[in-house]
Structure 1
């Protein structure tokens, strides 16, 4: 989406404010017999009232002039067929789809998930789990076997203790018994996160399934989030084989002594740290929160450092010996600060399936779609094992004309779903049953078409959405028109630009200016001394040392070329060479040494190129709009206009 389109015209803002007091269906004016209604004019006028900078645009007649010019341009764009361009239609469709998401999804569900996510990241859970690993697409028989296994392990864990069972059953292939340490929201898949946060400390969850298989989880502890830390470290690996035959602990202790002698941490990290990824950066690591690193010992030391700049004593992890320096610490931000960030994460996370499911349920209810679909039995009967080979075809006697579902006023037949089945057979899971395949494909087919239907009819059902889309549609169309008709042609019309410059030279004059040094001080007596020193041509740095002493700044100098509007000069400043009188200015005093006075002079075309081009474009646009007024007749309904004026005045 081209962001610049939002600035094409005054009329493309997106805030809606409708005044419904007048006869809004009444025609205000026509452009070549195309009606423009009172309702649109009032809506746009009210919406832009606080945005206009020129007070004249608040005058109804002035605004109507702008609005008719706007409509004339739209008429020309459509006459030129710009609204039929594939690139225009593609971009408009993309925007509509993006915008529709804000209108068709259930914000209550999203908001609840965002608040839940904030609560989750505000606390950390320490948990262990046992997993019976099975593929996500496992057949029903294997799934039942895995469920029965995890259920029996839960019974054992309740009787014998979770840790005992966890350690005994772990084999690292089909059964995993793992100590996970502390983690917070978004660190685990959502189903696992739910089980961990919803299980009380000391208890064992019921069996639950994720894409990895069946789990049970026990919660050891819950605590308030420790936030995020940024640290640097110096690491000496456990397998240390240098020429001095030093063991890692001795080497790290020697480095620690150098730190205590005042040597720079970053410099020592660059010289001696064996973590090659961080050594070149002075040992600096990316920010992390609890559970993000694979070393709980390292995390504990980092989070126990209190103040930025604190350095730990040497300590050991499975990776080697470390010294850690705290660079930054951050607690969980307030909800409002990270709400938008959490919402984006929720929509990327598996939580998004809950949002999708809520939308599908809402649309099924809205369009009276029954959850039961008797026709699926017929599709199960015509499917065969060719589907798994990507060679399945619809049978010759296929009942394609039979009705499948109706969404609003659009009907879908057996052929619509049959074609979908045929096109999407690639990658079908060979472990699935034909019944499961048909059911899953139908759900996807139905949900996709429900959303498409809602998107396609949203303009009819939602006035706010319709207004926003229409404004973007017009703004996008006018951008293309202005770019091709005015902006690009003006940039390439060098002769026209030169001619416009020659005709309007008085607009591109440099004002009278001075080359000066201006001294400013709150004390007039200080400036008297400065004026004398300036008159003696003393160097500014010397003057500063003489008047700005004992740690106090009594005078500030500004130098350069200045015109009468320069902020350093008072309004009544006299442009004359030499030392000026002392002026009162902005609750202080100034004195200036004017080295030269430059008279008013014409800018060259190169110097004024940006301004000339902008003025030339405005000139071309004004002439072009006058041509459009001759090309298309505009007829104002004076009676309707008077009603609008009276309404807005009231």
Structure 2
């Protein structure tokens, strides 16, 4: 995503729409006569002050330039009728529907379920279970047979032992007896999870039903969650293109020996780890939670380290060879940290049914909806078995205009529910009493329309929702404008890109580099010996065999094409062919043999094209903003601006 577009979003995600402004409110500036009020500017500036990385943007005058540019772009987008485009309107509509989901909920029930989920994620349960399979839509007779079967198995398990019965009855088709191991919240369907967490260790639960059938669960153990670990690692990968590089298993064993000799883990990671992202931080990784990693071997090693400071033996994964050091142990993160993630999980889980039920009850009260289904007798009278064959039709004399239920200001008729019945008959419906079938269908109909009515009226009912939709509306509009006006045209403007590159070649060069070998050791004396051997022209393999022994690694060599920022080189290292003096670097000593100095090289347009295009887009946008400023007159009220500055200084 373009850097400039980040600022578009940065502004539009912070600007609160001001639909109705008092005439007495100060106008900070106007764009082609359209006022922009002081309150809007102050709100945006103060809200984003802590987020701004560029200190210049904290300056009111500099920030005002960015803000006026934003308003100019918005003015141009509307002038081009981009807000009327079908794709824009569709995207905005989809966003509103998605956003509405986070507002259409019962927060009390959600909060209770989130807290329960957190408590369960803080623990692991070890359990086995027995399942009698039965369909969710099974007949009452089949359901009763399954229930009686699971009750008999529970009685047997109480008398004979759960494991014995489990092993005997499992057939993998109608009856399952499975060892589940340890699991935590969200790893099982909600009803199963609830039964397991609510059953004491050693006990067998009462039968309970999920969508799979009837279960009993035997809880074997409960423990606190393993939480998370903070570790650092040294990683060595195979460098196929480097003929001088050792095999990774040999290099990792050398590093492990140096650690056992007492050398510093962080220093070795900085010098030799091939994980460039963590090497500069001494190998430190972000905290790791159990089950988070896709690399099971790595996770197992991490969680098997017991004491802070413990270092693993070298081990292999698909990524290479590793050595891991334990720096921190922590249980499940604090509730407030996990809460946003848990809210989303709860809404996607079976728990959402409980939230839906609470929401429907709340909306019925809000919109004064009567719980009584007054038309049920009429719909029973026109219902028949054709519904189960998916051929049922409304009768010719159907009372379609009869009022059914009123939600807020919207009146629904018999026709609305009749159409819903016809539409949903395509879904498989188990035969049963007409009254219970029609009652369930009516509850679904009512739920769908209650939620839809609230969604359609959210901008009027909820100020926060209205603000966020307004912010996205403007952000999406500016994205359409930037894409059509700057980004796409800049990418396809081959002549313009070529001219820009030709005029700014000095910005696109490879820095001076060296083809070098770096020798690293904790002993300065050892490197003096290495320096002499290199001067004498001895090969690296011979030097290594001479200086290092099977039991002790005195020196490690790194061979590479390096620029001045390479991790193995001392700061401000002088690029000069030959053998350098000995430097102190990363709590060790280093010696550099520079075989060749590679001069600064001009990048071709093809090699630098991504950066050139990005710079060209910035250049085009700067000129375009200047043109917009000439097209739409901006008038700044200097007196008001002075007052704004004085307010911000307080």
TM bucket by the smaller chain? 0.5 to 0.7
Aligned equivalents of 2:73, 2:341: Cα separation in 1: 40
Taking the TM superposition and a 5 Å limit, the aligned residue runs for 1:261-410 are 334=332, 347=347, 349-383=349-383, 387-388=387-388, 390-394=390-394, 398-410=398-410
Corresponding residue for residue 451 of structure 1: 451
Listed one character per residue, the Cα deviations across residues 58-83 of structure 1 (whole Å, up to 9, x for unaligned) are: 11211121122223223333333333
Taking the TM superposition and a 5 Å limit, the aligned residue runs for 1:62-141 are 62-113=62-113, 116=116, 119=120, 122-123=124-125, 136=137, 138=139
Task: Note if contact 2:558-2:568 (Cα within 8 Å) is conserved in structure 1.
Answer: no
Say if 2:428 is the partner of 1:431. no
Q: 1:32 to 1:409 in 2, by over 3 A?
A: farther
Aligned equivalents of 2:447, 2:502: Cα separation in 1: 65
Task: Note if contact 1:535-1:593 (Cα within 8 Å) is conserved in structure 2.
Answer: no
Corresponding residue for residue 5 of structure 2: 8
**CA shift for structure 1 position 92:** 3.2
**CA shift for structure 1 position 608:** 2.7
Listed one character per residue, the Cα deviations across residues 349-375 of structure 1 (whole Å, up to 9, x for unaligned) are: 543321211121222222222212324
Task: Note if contact 1:570-1:585 (Cα within 8 Å) is conserved in structure 2.
Answer: yes
Corresponding residue for residue 269 of structure 1: none
Listed one character per residue, the Cα deviations across residues 369-390 of structure 1 (whole Å, up to 9, x for unaligned) are: 2212324444445555554554
Say if 2:482 is the partner of 1:499. no
Aligned equivalents of 1:569, 1:192: Cα separation in 2: 58
Q: 1:27 to 1:218 in 2, by over 3 A?
A: same
Corresponding residue for residue 262 of structure 1: none
Larger Rg: 1
Aligned equivalents of 1:588, 1:161: Cα separation in 2: 65
Q: 1:42 to 1:375 in 2, by over 3 A?
A: farther
Corresponding residue for residue 258 of structure 1: none
Q: 1:591 to 1:188 in 2, by over 3 A?
A: closer
Q: 1:489 to 1:616 in 2, by over 3 A?
A: same
Corresponding residue for residue 45 of structure 2: 45
Corresponding residue for residue 562 of structure 1: 563
SS at match of 1:9: helix
Corresponding residue for residue 473 of structure 1: 473
Q: 1:415 to 1:33 in 2, by over 3 A?
A: farther
Task: Note if contact 1:548-1:554 (Cα within 8 Å) is conserved in structure 2.
Answer: yes
Aligned equivalents of 1:188, 1:600: Cα separation in 2: 59
Aligned equivalents of 1:51, 1:396: Cα separation in 2: 65
Corresponding residue for residue 490 of structure 1: 490
Aligned equivalents of 1:128, 1:589: Cα separation in 2: 64
Listed one character per residue, the Cα deviations across residues 179-220 of structure 1 (whole Å, up to 9, x for unaligned) are: 88889888987567767876889999999876688x7x888x
Corresponding residue for residue 30 of structure 1: 30
Q: 1:203 to 1:25 in 2, by over 3 A?
A: farther
Corresponding residue for residue 554 of structure 2: 553
**CA shift for structure 1 position 495:** 1.3
Unaligned runs of 5+ in 2: 226-290, 292-303, 306-330
C-alpha RMSD over aligned residues: 5.3
Question: What TM-score, normalized to structure 1?
Answer: 0.64
Tell me how many residue pairs correspond in the alignment. 533
Question: What TM-score, normalized to structure 2?
Answer: 0.64
Aligned equivalents of 2:346, 2:483: Cα separation in 1: 39
Aligned equivalents of 1:577, 1:16: Cα separation in 2: 55
**CA shift for structure 1 position 87:** 3.3
Corresponding residue for residue 234 of structure 2: none
Corresponding residue for residue 541 of structure 1: 541
Aligned equivalents of 1:130, 1:484: Cα separation in 2: 60
Listed one character per residue, the Cα deviations across residues 551-592 of structure 1 (whole Å, up to 9, x for unaligned) are: 1435655543535x5555566655544444556666666554
